[in-house]
Structure 1
Amino acid sequence: MPTVLVVEDETLIRELVAEELEEAGYTVVIANDADQAIAILEARQDIRLVFTDINMPGSMNGLKLAAAVRDRWSPVHIIITSGKVRLLESRRMRFLFPSPMSARMLSRR
């Protein structure tokens, strides 16, 4: 199973997502914001999927993080979640899932 980087600033949601993914067999690495996520991606070669919320504090939100990942680590897949936005498909950024159910939906795929 691939390694998933979960980027979420809300502790309870981050823990729920990580737990769901780990129970599904994924290796999970967590980041509290986009800046921490970028540092993890720079340090690790095993991240295959970034699972990020849109709304986060820091220098960039989840959409800007997704664009940075797409530009710098193009083989890494991206799933964007939000508690405020409905399902959306994008050519490069796969899917936008409603949060917090997004982890459960992913683990079933």
Structure 2
Amino acid sequence: MPDQDLALSPPHVLVVEDEGLIRMMVVDMLEEAGFVVTEAHHADAAWAILQRRQEDIRVLFTDIDMPGSMNGFVLAERVADAWPHIGLVITSGGRKLADREVPDHGHFLGKPYRPKDLVLAIREAI
């Protein structure tokens, strides 16, 4: 059930994850929590979305390791430089980062994560 405070103007989250099943589960979790979600299967696709819709996106949630010309960390750095109003949450199952290592005071969420931890990280990034 969506939160009451998100019902008026739900924040928009861009989810970037190359593993289709994980991406689908994340999208479902965030939509159930009341967020509007756009998804991308790699950082290059996310960058194209951001260039068209950066005003709409409030949070970027990205995996680090994925195919393409850039990984999720590079994507997060570019987003922090170009659009500092977009909050950042980076995730990985193979790497561990401290929040201070995430660009623009973002957050790191290690895999596997629980739905409530995902939602909390997104809310903190807003």
- Could you tell me the TM-score, scaled by structure 1's length? 0.91
Identity %: 49
Q: Distance in 1 between matches of 2:19 and 2:83?
A: 25
**Per-residue deviation at 1:86?**
3.4
Distance 1:9 1:104 in 2: 22
The counterpart of 1:47, out of the listed 41, 57, 67, is 57
Larger Rg: 2
2:85 is matched with 75
Count of matched residue positions in the alignment of Structure 1 and Structure 2: 109
Q: Which has the higher helix share?
A: 2
Structure 2: gaps of 5 or more residues: 1-9
Note closer, same or farther for the CA distance 1:8–1:93 as it changes in structure 2 (3 Å cut).
farther
Deviation (angstroms), 1:106: 2.6
Structure 1 gaps, min length 5: none
Task: Compare relative contact order (CA 8 Å, sep 6+) and give the higher one, 1 or 2.
Answer: 1
CA separation of 1:104 and 1:11: change in aligned 2, threshold 3 A: farther
Give the residue type in structure 2 aligned to 1:107.
Answer: V
Q: Does 1:5 align with 2:14?
A: yes
The Cα RMSD (Å) is 1.6
87 and 67 in structure 1: CA distance in 2 versus 1, 3 angstrom threshold: closer
Change (3 A) 1:52 1:64: same
- Alpha carbons 1:51, 1:78 under 8 Å: kept: yes
C-alpha contact 1:81 1:102 (8 A) present in aligned 2: no
Structure with the higher strand share, 1 or 2: 1
